[in-house]
Structure 1
Amino acid sequence: MRSRLSTTMLSWVITICLLAFASSKPCDNEGSNNELLLSLNKDLLRSLGRQEGLPNPSVHLALRISSYHNLAKESEHLIRLNTQLHNDIQNSLSSSPSVVGLLALYTLALKSSCYDLNTVTFTVSDTSETLLTHLKKQMEKEKERLAYSHRPLTNYYQYSLGVLALCTSGIRVNDHVSNKLIKAVEHQYLKQGDAECIDTYAMAGMALQCVKDTGFHVRNAAELDTALDKIKQKLLASRRADGHIGNEFSTGLAVQALLAMGSPVAECAASMEAMRTDARSNTYHNPMAISQILPALQQKSYLTVKNKACLNEDDTLVLEPIDPVVVLPSDTKVSVIVEVVTSSGEAALYSVDVAKGSSLLEALELLKGREVGFMFEKESSLWGPFLSVVNGEQARQSDRRYWHLSSDGTALSQGINDFKIEAAQKITIKNTSY
């Protein structure tokens, strides 16, 4: 279970890493829709009551950055973070090699509520130390790994989150720590295989911009500026014809990063409109996705928490009762071929007919129940469940492997519970190294 916490962040990154597609579509910032923003805000707030497992710090962060609040519900969620998530992280600190990503998100969530971080402690091996001390130690472990490898213990997304959390909390980030990230940008290490990880570039951009804003990183100021410029150009070059940067699920962080790095709002308007269009079509039904696009659509970023004062906040967000929606299963069946490719390259094929509109998870559960030799196990993440074991074989972060999912050769940008089967297709589940 403890490895799950670090795998949570790995799953998050891998899910939305896709090749970027260049576009030169001009920006137009017209059409900001307050009604849509309120609707998204309420969707996030309602998700607090539907959370399974641990409370989500990313959701809390987005709610706190927002211009609209329901302070009572946010306070209730803060208590859950301070108890349930806190206890789980404490257990993980003793047993996992690195939980820097989740620890950083927890830090940002508390900071967004103006919580005194010096009062938050973890006790490991009978020694009590503050949250920020543990985060600094986690980052040192990540940096030490980079001394003999171009990859941290976890990944550069989590590494960037750690830098951002320390920086926004008023902690001077060790030059050696930030320099490792600068070098990673310079040498284009922020990739998943051959794919550009746009969300990782975005998080690195926000982290390094925060470091630049502190004014402490003067020894290599030119290299820092060059890295920030490379990140900005990478994000802009990855904008598709429809306005999305990378894909639908990396655009929110990309826009946040561009705004944080000083891009004019007009430069991001096409991407904002793309997110609004998809939000209206319910593409962003996953709370994790909403938590990343909402700040961007409000022209804010995670850097906002650095100077957040929590004074005179709006408290007008009210959740109206809604009638439950019953979705009846479709009578139409579609055929799905499932291919499992193990780490050795051995492949096995299975077929199953599922109701149109079923989730991939439902299709896999149905196939498993037919007892034809297909088996799988899943674990939880901030984005929802993900595959951990298939046909008895693990894809472990410690071995730098994961189960790569594709449909008819195209990598999935959604998790197994979010991806819907709308037509006959071939799903490939491949044990992949990174």
Structure 2
Amino acid sequence: MTSHVTLKSWKRLSLFPHSALSFHAGHRGGTKMLLLVIITGLLASVSSKPCDTDGSNQDLLRSLNKNLLRSLDREEGRPNPSIHLALRLSDHHNLAKERDYLNKLKEELHNDIQSSLTNSRPATGILALYSLALKSSCYDLNTVTFTIGDKSETLLTQLKKQMEQEKEHIAFSQRPLTNYYQYSLGVLALCVSSIRVNNHVSHKLINAADQGHFKHGETESIDTYAMAGMALQCVKDSGFYVHNPAELDTALSKIKQKLLASSRTDGHLGNEFSTGLAVQALLAMGSDVADCAASMEAMRTAARNNVYHNPMAISQTLPALQKKSYLTIKSKQCLNEDDSLVLEPTNPPVVVTSTINVNLMVEVVTASGATALYSVDVPKGSSLLESLKLLKTKHVGFTFELESSLWGPFLSSVNGEQARQSDRRYWHLSSDGTALTEGVSDFKIEVAQKISIKNTSY
């Protein structure tokens, strides 16, 4: 919905960007240019490992694709349009399962969005993802409608209205009604569907990129830069922005520089969970991201190490590994598709509870700065969510509540205090001072550590 270190634990609808890895602006002039030249060369260079695009890499892609398909049977909560997008952008398909999931989106997700619109809740990001998912199946978006009051309007009309509200909110408060990640998704979804994007709507995104507004607190969001890059590249390709084409080119150039400058020594852009969208954006903006560029190798290594066990993470990474982006949807034709993906029967996983306990310290910091500290011994390998549930049974004073998102559950309330999106606050999670890049259900407690849960503004 995605770094630093913005956590899945605080994403609403998973449409907060996952990463906001900070790039410190200490480089100036020739030093910065040299850095960008070096990074660009690194991304374009061939890895020292042989580039096996027809062998093990293809096996890995099929394995990720199958894992994504299997996740549909384990899914809890609302269906995820991002998963459908990734399945439809893949080279190989299980068309029957994809059709079933499309129907689920059209029923369950559609009803959920209808409820949000009826109750005047912001729905920009989820509307945009829904439209992209439907278009990836070559579905006629003009037949998809929502009813507000006694008036029925198409999905794309509703999305245009949401974007106008977002634009007006920026003019009034210098920030979108939701955030720039969702705003970028809205621009992208309209553009991919060949809907002319209002110049004023595009200009707000261009201006935000130029002024470096893609942040959460003091950290830059690589996911937001990536989504904005895809959105603005689509606007450029479509010839929609006639106000000042030069400023559009400048914004795209700055976005590309930010993405390249976020490269880590291991090849990831931002972090493991932002690299997929970052590579998608670089591809969309015309960069030659070779099969064995450092970022591609980094994603494959992470995939082989099961870093991408969360379906949402796979859904953003798989298209990039196949050198595709969300812009690919614009020209997608659902003809003569490979239907060879067959899921072999699998044995249910054997859950083994560790007999080794590790100590977990949990610090809760409220919005006022008040601090409470708790201690609990948990089985090694427990998820943070399992550990918090155990802590709740051991300490009467510790409570928490969860909300669901496309990334999984996130903390909404701790010790009776909420961190609400409407107040632009979230629960920031860190371990021994290092911000987590996984949510409460994914992060594992392997060693004794201190987890801080802090009510934070953005």
Which TM-score bucket, shorter chain as reference? over 0.9
> What's the TM-score, normalizing by structure 2?
0.91
Cα distance change, pair 169–195 in 1 and its aligned pair in 2 (3 A): same
The separation in 2 between residues aligned to 1:351 and 1:15, in whole angstroms, is 29
Task: Select the residue among 6, 17, 31 that pairs with 2:20.
Answer: 17
Q: Distance in 2 between matches of 1:346 and 1:17?
A: 26
- Tell me the residue number matched to 1:389: 413
Structure 1 CA distance, aligned partners of 2:291 and 2:261? 12
| Pair 1:246–1:78, CA change in 2 (3 A) | same
Corresponding residue number in structure 1 for 2:279: 255
Contact 1:15 1:412 in 2 (8 A): no
The AA in structure 2 aligned to 1:205 is G
1:92-111 pair list within 5 angstroms:
92-111=116-135
Q: Distance in 1 between matches of 2:157 and 2:93?
A: 31
Structure 1 partner of 2:191: 167
Instruction: Provide the residue aligned with 1:130 in structure 2.
Output: 154
**Cα offset, 1:211, TM superposition:** 0.2
CA contact (8 A) 2:13 2:405 kept: no
Q: Distance in 1 between matches of 2:117 and 2:243?
A: 33
Alignment of 1:327 onto 2:336: no
Task: State yes or no: 1:28 paired with 2:30.
Answer: no
Residue 302 (structure 1) aligned with residue 326 (structure 2): yes
Q: 5+ residue gaps in structure 1?
A: 1-6
> 2-side partners of 1:135 and 1:204: how far apart?
17
1:265 CA drift (Å): 2.1
1:350 aligns with 2:374: yes
Contact in 2 for aligned 1:9/1:102 (Cα 8 Å): no
Structure 2 residue identity aligned to 1:126: D
Q: 2:428 aligns with which of 400, 404, 407?
A: 404
Distance in 1, matches of 2:330 and 2:137, equals 11
Asked if structure 1 preserves the Cα contact closer than 8 Å seen for 2:17 and 2:181, the reply is: no
Equivalent residue number for residue 185 of structure 1:
209
Contact 1:20 1:198 in 2 (8 A): no
Q: Distance in 1 between matches of 2:14 and 2:284?
A: 25
> What residue number does 2:258 align with?
234
Per the alignment, in what secondary structure is the counterpart of residue 158 of structure 2?
Answer: helix
Structure 2 unpaired stretches of 5+: 1-9, 25-34
Partner secondary structure for residue 271 of structure 1 = helix
| SS of aligned partner of 2:16 | helix
Displacement of 1:324 in angstroms is 1.6
Displacement after TM superposition at 1:218 (Å): 2.5
Q: Give per-residue Cα distances to partners, 1:307-352, cap 9 Å, x unaligned.
A: 1110111111000111122020111111010000000000000001
Structure 2 equivalent of residue 380 of structure 1? 404
Query: How far does the alpha carbon of each residue in 1:25-71 deviate from its partner, in whole angstroms, 9 at most, with x for none?
Result: 45326343100000000000111111101110000000001111000
| TM-aligned CA deviation for residue 127 of structure 1 | 1.1
**Alignment length, in residue pairs?**
428
| Code of the aligned partner of 1:13 | F
The alpha-carbon deviation at position 97 of structure 1 amounts to: 3.3
Shift of 1:215: 1.3
Task: Rate the CA distance shift 1:14–1:339 in 2: closer, same or farther, 3 A.
Answer: farther
Could you say what secondary structure the match of 1:378 adopts? strand
1:224 partner SS = helix
Given that 1:406 and 1:412 are in contact with CA atoms closer than 8 Å, whether structure 2 keeps it comes out as: yes
CA distance in 1, matches of 2:272, 2:146: 37
Identity of aligned residues (%): 71
Aligned position for 2:223? 199
Q: Which residue of 1 aligns with 2:304?
A: 280
Amino acid at match of 1:280: R
2:166 corresponds in structure 1 to 142
1:107–1:165 contact (8 Å) kept in structure 2: yes
Query: Does the aligned pair in 2 maintain the 1:209–1:260 contact within 8 Å?
Result: yes
CA contact (8 A) 1:13 1:197 kept: no
* 1:240 CA displacement: 0.3
**Letter matched to residue 169 of structure 1:** S
1:80 alignment counterpart: 104
What is the CA–CA distance in structure 1 between the aligned matches of 2:14 and 2:425, rounded to whole Å?
A: 11
Matched residues in 1 for 2:89 and 2:385: separation?
Answer: 32
Which secondary structure state, in structure 2, belongs to the residue aligned with residue 148 of structure 1? Answer: helix
**CA contact under 8 A between 2:363 and 2:373: conserved in structure 1?**
yes
Does the CA-based 8 Å contact 2:367-2:456 persist in structure 1?
yes
Provide the rounded CA distance (Å) in 2 between the counterparts of 1:408 and 1:19. Answer: 19
User: Does residue 1:216 correspond to 2:216, yes or no?
Assistant: no
CA contact (8 A) 1:258 1:268 kept: no
Tell me the secondary structure at the aligned position of residue 180 of structure 1: helix
Note if contact 2:432-2:451 (Cα within 8 Å) is conserved in structure 1.
yes
**CA–CA separation in structure 2 for the residues paired with 1:73 and 1:421:** 35
- The match for 2:29 is none
String of CA shifts for 1:156-192, please: whole Å, max 9, x gaps.
0000000000000110100000000000001100011
Query: Does residue 44 of the first structure (1) align with residue 68 of the second (2)?
Result: yes
**1:4 paired residue number:** none
Secondary structure at 1:349's aligned position in 2? Answer: strand
Amino acid in the other structure paired with 2:231: A
1:157 aligned partner: 181
The answer as to whether partners of 2:199 and 2:242 remain within 8 angstroms in 1 is no
Matched residue of 1:304: which SS? helix
1:92 and 1:235 map into 2 onto residues whose CA distance is 33
Distance 2:109 2:13 in 1: 18
Quote the Cα distance in structure 2 between the aligned partners of 1:67 and 1:378.
36
Shift of 1:9: 4.0
The Cα shift of 1:413 comes to: 0.4
Q: Which amino acid aligns with 2:417?
A: E
